[in-house]
Structure 1
Amino acid sequence: MIYYSGTPTLETDRLVLRKIELSDAQAIFDHWLSDDRVMDNLIKGAHKSVSETIERVKEILGKYDTQEFCYWGIELKASGELIGAIDLFNFDSMTENCEVGYSIGYKWWNKGYGTEALRAVIEFGFRHMNIHKISAAHNTDNPASGKIMRKVGMEQEGTLKHMIRNAKNLYKDCAVYGLLQEDYLKMELLD
């Protein structure tokens, strides 16, 4: 059984994972949602105006009342800058599985923040929510995301051809990764 507890604040060495707020909209727009380099990897494409981001933030805020909603802003402890977002979604009560997705602003790529955030959310999912399996996917033309997934112990399970179609109407193949709770707990025992 999955134990839902909403979106509690999570901390790592360098990050605070927290609920986003309406006042974050400008930073969210500036740091990743308006950046084609980041948004090319997602289905909806880059936002053209901050008003579009405000609407998205309002949509997220309206879901925080639900215990099944797990969506964190990724904030740097040192500066308080909001650099990305990460969420658990597509919960399946029958299998007790879910998916994880994340976006990090381009300025903060290749600094280990994605790995640190993903590690924290996976730990929360397995240890506190009792999730059986967490899956993730990335466009095959974005191998850096797969590297993050492998660093936290996820294994590539296959590639799905034309899994998504992006905002530019291009089909993208996606590498699919997964990690079982039992394998995660074994890895933790070895550390």
Structure 2
Amino acid sequence: MKLEWNKDNIVFSYCKGADLKEIALMLSKESVCKYMFFGPNTEETTMAYFSPFISSIENDLKEEKIPDFSVFTIREKDSGNFIGQCALFPIEFTNGNYLIGYQIDDTQWEKGYGSAACEFLVYYAFTMLDAFRLTGDCTEGNVASEKTMTKSGFQSEGRQKRYWLHNGKWYDRLLFGLMKEDIPEKRLESLRGIYG
């Protein structure tokens, strides 16, 4: 069973316990969490959140099945340096619809890693999980995330007003979606060629 996927000098692999310290450090930063609906977090909070996912992934991999929770660590291939993490979470009551998420450490910004993570999640969802739809969201003002999703083919689907209160200010939640049938087969073939 495949455990990691490469593109250029980027490696996506299923998240392991050994990755948690670096994920916790990233999610403790105000800069990284500025536009997220959670954080900055303590190390304990991050560990408590991710540990059940990692246990589930490890158990599924022992049984040689695709994990129910698709949480990935992103690293540089040559150096092994931590870049960030990304994930697909099943949306309740709609088999085949997944919420995407990606966080890139602030030391790795403006290198195209967010776009690479989003592209990888599109590949994984529509080829490995046989998803029919991906759902994305971000807070208003998170221009980088909005651009990342639209670059990967996501369409704007609306706005939830006054969704998130952070540091005394309300933010709207912007909603995005990508349907499998809206992706040209040529693009899926190209992604299979890169990651398959």
The TM-score, its normalising length taken from structure 1, stands at: 0.83
In structure 2, the residue matched to 1:68 is 68
Q: Deviations over 1:24-80 (max 9, x none)?
A: 2332233x21111111222221123x3443333423322313532111111111221
In structure 2, the residue matched to 1:96 is 96
Length, aligned pairs only: 183
> Aligned partners of 1:58, 1:128: CA distance in 2, in Å?
23
Q: Deviations over 1:118-163 (max 9, x none)?
A: 1011111112221111010111111110111111111112222123
Residues 126 and 132 of structure 1 are in contact (CA less than 8 Å); yes or no, is this contact kept in structure 2?
Answer: yes
Q: Relative CO higher for 1 or 2, CA cutoff 8 Å, sep ≥ 6?
A: 1
Note the C-alpha offset of 1:170.
Answer: 4.2
**Structure 1 residues 12-91: aligned runs within 5 Å:** 12-30=7-25, 32-48=26-42, 50-64=43-57, 65=59, 67-91=67-91
Structure 2 regions of 5+ residues with no counterpart? 61-66, 191-196
Aligned-residue Cα RMSD (Å) equals 2.5
The TM-score, its normalising length taken from structure 2, stands at: 0.81
Note the C-alpha offset of 1:96.
Answer: 2.5
> Aligned partners of 1:93, 1:181: CA distance in 2, in Å?
18
> Aligned partners of 1:96, 1:29: CA distance in 2, in Å?
29
Identity fraction in percent:
25
> Aligned partners of 2:188, 2:14: CA distance in 1, in Å?
30
User: Which amino acid in structure 1 is aligned with residue 112 of structure 2?
Assistant: G
Structure 1 regions of 5+ residues with no counterpart? none
Higher mean C-alpha displacement, 100-109 vs 61-70: 61-70
